[in-house]
Amino acid sequence: MAVNLILQDINDNLPRFQLQNYVAYIREAQGYDFPIIQVAADDLDQGQNGQVTYSIRSSSMSGLFKIDPVTGSITTAAIMDREIWTQTKLVVTATDRGTPRLAGSATLTVIIIDLNDNSPMIPLHREIRVPEGK
């Protein structure tokens, strides 16, 4: 007599990012949809239990970035200005499709690199006295 066992995977593994802390650098004044970094998480479960979708859970500057829910690619959603923001932190989440849904998170620090985009300014209201004969 042959016995066939069919094992079903239960959703018992959290998605885990390859890094817990990511750091990316971007020059100020980059346009919209400029690629910054791609994050990646793995889930050891099988089937839908192991498939992950990505989202930005929180950001110190909301609306500046967007993430592709399938690939984990993070791009700009606004033009960065170093004179306003020097850096920002995001919490990125990977959520599996199992029941119940499980999630893991990582932190991304985006550092904005300054460009020489401001002309030097000379105050014009200063009075300069030059002694006669010099």
**pLDDT tens, residue order, the chain (134 aa):** 898 887 788 999 999 999 999 999 999 988 899 999 999 999 999 999 999 999 999 877 778 999 999 999 999 999 888 888 899 999 999 999 999 999 999 999 999 998 776 666 666 666 777 788 76
Residues 6+ apart with CB under 8 A from 35: 73, 74, 75
> What is the C-alpha separation between 92 and 31, in angstroms, rounded?
22
The answer to whether residue 79 sits within a structural domain is yes
Residue 52 lies in a domain: yes
Give this prediction's pTM.
0.80
Q: What is the dihedral sign for C-alpha 48, 49, 51, 55? A: positive
The answer to whether position 12 is within a domain reads no
| Residue 102 counted as domain residue | yes
Number of domains in the chain: 1
Residue 126 CB contacts under 8 Å (≥ 6 apart), including other chains: none
CA–CA gap between residue 93 and residue 18 (Å, rounded): 12
C-alpha span between 83 and 122 (Å, rounded): 19
24, 25, 29, 33: CA torsion to nearest 10: -30
The DSSP output letter for 9 is -
Beta-strand pair 87-96/103-113 = antiparallel
Task: For residue 85, tell me if it sits in a domain.
Answer: yes
Residue 41 lies in a domain: yes
34 is a domain residue: yes
82: domain CATH number?
2.60.40.60
Q: Which domain holds residue 105?
A: 30-113
Give the strand pairing for 21-27 and 103-113: parallel
User: Is residue 91 in some structural domain?
Assistant: yes
